[in-house]
Structure 1
Amino acid sequence: MPPTTRMCDLPQKLIGEKIFPRVPITSLREVRSTCKSWDAITKRWILGYEATATQQFLGFMTMNSKLCSLRYEQKQKRDDSVDDVSIDIKQVDSLNQVEISKVFHCDGLLLCVAKDSSKLVVWNPYLCQTRSIGPRNKFWSYDRYALGYDTNRNHKILRFVDERGGGGAEEYEIYDLSGCDSWRVLDVVTRDWEIQQFRRGVSVKGNAYFFAREKLCDVESEDECGTVTEVKDFLLCFDFTRERFGPRLPLPFHTCVDECVTLSCVRDEQLAVLYYQEGLNDYSCGSVEVWVTTRIEPSSVSWTKFLNVEMRPFALTGVRFDEFQGGSFFLDEQERVAVVFDLDGYLPNKTPRYHTAFVAGEDGYFKSVSLGEASNSGKRCQITGYLPEVYAPALVCSSFYRPSLVQLN
């Protein structure tokens, strides 16, 4: 009888290139426990240099108030007649008991915000460790958060305390994951700018970046009727080492009020920004610009255009990106495409709504992939019985997930 080949006897390259790419991110613990050699191989193929060579995007997202893992792959040949896009989404069972409204990623850690604003959960998927964090006083639904680290690799959470949701923050707090189990109030004064409550920050090289605007009360550009005609917009960086906001950083475009601007990152090294310029009316499409930084530091930035997509040829689909919650995205550098998450086309009298990934690239390439029905989060009126339609698009963690050995316990 020929000898039986054990799992541990398989070639490392076969395991790393053919087996690991098919394993869900959330099953890495089972992979590591298969045998000692597989545990060692994960440190090379999942944590080491080989992990950067993968052609897949691995990440996390929230959809229908649940945390999900995401695996995306695009075949090199683009053809509208074939299915050249593969998107695999799986719900995270270990956090299934918590409804999640937002998720942020930095350095292999995920910061999950409970939908009921009761707590935050920090999760290391690779080590299967979680830490639940409560408020100093109370969390508010309008609070904003960011995850980052300082030069000593101490991971921290920034909180915008916002009880009223007006765009400003009453105060700023920080939580050091490697320090004492408590929040500290920061001595930060922000008089002339605001970050709206629906703007999500993105972590790059340990610091958090935000799309910000001049406060309306400080705007001087008004017409003869008193209507604001010009609002300055810019980037702001929160430096987790200095625990301060930096100077205003220029954007490569200027936006009008209520246009969609979302931030993303490229392998934790570059910042990316998507700008959706709307059409002339609610049923026409505009254009999408995607820019990527060539240099990004807390006090300086430079840009290059990654992609420009004219959306008018797709007007009949009703596609447009919501300025409040939609338009979260990531980039496939090799295929030169942006994968944007929102609800399906904004067409009148269309129900139910579906979560959709829009894949846009060069030379007019555009494809939509349905991800499943979106749940209606509207609350029924107890008097009239009317149920409003309230749908929240899926939100993706834009950074490519690289597992981490950061301890939470």
Structure 2
Amino acid sequence: MTTKSDLPGDLVEEEILSRVPFTSLRSVRSTCRKWNALSKNRIFGKAAARNQFLGFMMMNYKVCSIQFDLQGIRNRVDFVNNPSVKQVSILDHIEVSQVLHCDGLLLCVIKNNTGLLVWNPYLGQTRWIQPRQCFDMFDRYAIGYDNNRNHKILRIFGEHQTVLGYEIYDFSSSSWKVSYVTPDWSIRFYQRGVSLKGNTYFVGQTVNENMEADILLCFDFTTERFVPPLPLPYPCDDETVSLSCVRDEQLAVLYLRWEVWVTNKIDPYAVSWTKFLRHHLGFSVHIYDGSFFIDEEENVAVVFDLDDFKGDRRRYQTAHILGQDRYLKSVNIGEAQDLDKPYEPGSPTLRRLFRPLVSSSYVPSLVQLQINQPDKEKESDHY
């Protein structure tokens, strides 16, 4: 009778474990000590990941995984009838207002600005980040790394739109350092940054002759500075809604009127763009809600948004799958929290800031985090 120990190592590692879905990793790790040890030093499920999208989103201030297969999407209804969305159990105890992704790590901004949590979904590790003084509702965040692969967190502070300075948290030293600046550009508090090749890009605004124009801002985590602004495909104020990355190689931008552009070239000091697709749907993406990713093999963009209020005053989180040939399929993911209530009593202007949907194309990572919670071996139900 053949047992696991009789199987050739190459067969186990290259053929069997590479095809394990990420959602089954916890079961694999519990099979035997050897497989558990292998999973902490090698990425399992790489072959399975090539044929599916695995990301994370927020529903009612909880972090959820979302998984679906885009291959043959035009001929299948599986994703429409049964999208795989599941709440992450390891984060059950917290409410999150924002999620950011870099290098397989997720930075979770805790609701009410009480702290930051970094999570490695593949290894099941977490790390709490405490503020130097305090966090604020208008803070903007990013996560990245320098040329030595040292991971860092950026916290931009200021008012509704004004940037007054920023802080850098260094994972290796577990400390913050602060820089005060007076830039000739701004970043709106609802704009989420996107990390690409270790650096983070934001949609910002500059003022020329009393006219605002959208620009692309890059924060270089090696020099720990913002570099000179770069151009967007076209600088239309209040038109840009969201940034995304493509396989950590390209940057993509989504405009309100359902137009997506991707970069031909991108580095902190130079960028060029090409149009990926444009749809005419008769309505706009919500500027506070929209997030997206693109699949170049299938020539589609998947845009996550909140639809308009229904007759019962409920709103639903929706994924719109858009093809370059004007293909369109919309998927109801689930009902959103009652967003007609202000986030804080007396602060109705903050209603739209904390819309619960964020998407991130996830790539597993072996980056180790210092685990500072009592249950050091706890893992989520998914990994």
TM-score normalized by the length of structure 1:
0.80
1:136-151 aligned within 5 A: 136-151=132-147
Q: CA deviation at 1:348?
A: 6.8
Please list the CA deviations of residues 103-143 of structure 1 after superposition, one character each: whole Å capped at 9, or x if unmatched.
11111111100011100001112222211112111111111
Inter-partner Cα distance in structure 2 for 1:76 and 1:127? 31
Q: Read off the aligned partner of 1:401 and give its amino acid letter.
A: V
- 2:261 and 2:273 in contact (8 A); partners too: yes
1:4-403 aligned within 5 A: 6=4, 9=7, 12=12, 15-16=16-17, 18=19, 20-21=20-21, 23-24=22-23, 28-35=25-32, 36-37=34-35, 39-40=37-38, 46=44, 50-51=46-47, 54-76=50-72, 78-79=74-75, 82-83=77-78, 87-162=83-158, 164-165=159-160, 167-179=161-173, 181-190=174-183, 192-215=184-207, 219-221=208-210, 230-257=211-238, 259-277=239-257, 288-312=258-282, 319-323=283-287, 325-344=288-307, 346=308, 349=311, 351-379=313-341, 393-403=355-365
Unaligned 5+ segments in structure 1 are 222-229, 278-287, 313-318
Q: Read off the aligned partner of 2:44 and give its amino acid letter.
A: I
Q: Structure 2 vs 1, CA of residues 392 and 337 (structure 1 numbering), >3 Å: closer, same or farther?
A: farther
Q: Structure 2 vs 1, CA of residues 238 and 40 (structure 1 numbering), >3 Å: closer, same or farther?
A: same
Q: CA deviation at 1:206?
A: 0.2
Please list the CA deviations of residues 299-352 of structure 1 after superposition, one character each: whole Å capped at 9, or x if unmatched.
11111222222224xxxxxx53111x21111112211111111112x2574521
Inter-partner Cα distance in structure 2 for 1:151 and 1:45? 22
Specify the SS of the correspondent of 1:158: strand
Q: CA deviation at 1:5?
A: 5.3
Number of equivalenced pairs: 362
Q: Read off the aligned partner of 2:147 and give its amino acid letter.
A: T
Q: CA deviation at 1:32?
A: 2.8
TM-score normalized by the length of structure 2:
0.85
Give runs of ≥4 in structure 1 deviating > 6 Å. 388-391
Unaligned 5+ segments in structure 2 are 372-383
- Root-mean-square deviation (CA, aligned residues, Å) is 3.0
Q: Structure 2 vs 1, CA of residues 363 and 78 (structure 1 numbering), >3 Å: closer, same or farther?
A: same
Specify the SS of the correspondent of 2:38: helix
Q: Of the two, which has the highest radius of gyration?
A: 1
Q: Structure 2 vs 1, CA of residues 52 and 146 (structure 1 numbering), >3 Å: closer, same or farther?
A: farther
Please list the CA deviations of residues 60-119 of structure 1 after superposition, one character each: whole Å capped at 9, or x if unmatched.
12221001112121231514x844656311111111110001011111111100011100
Q: Structure 2 vs 1, CA of residues 7 and 202 (structure 1 numbering), >3 Å: closer, same or farther?
A: farther
Higher relative contact order, structure no. (Cα contacts within 8 Å, ≥ 6 residues apart):
2
Inter-partner Cα distance in structure 2 for 1:212 and 1:91? 32
Inter-partner Cα distance in structure 2 for 1:396 and 1:336? 22
Q: Read off the aligned partner of 2:38 and give its amino acid letter.
A: A
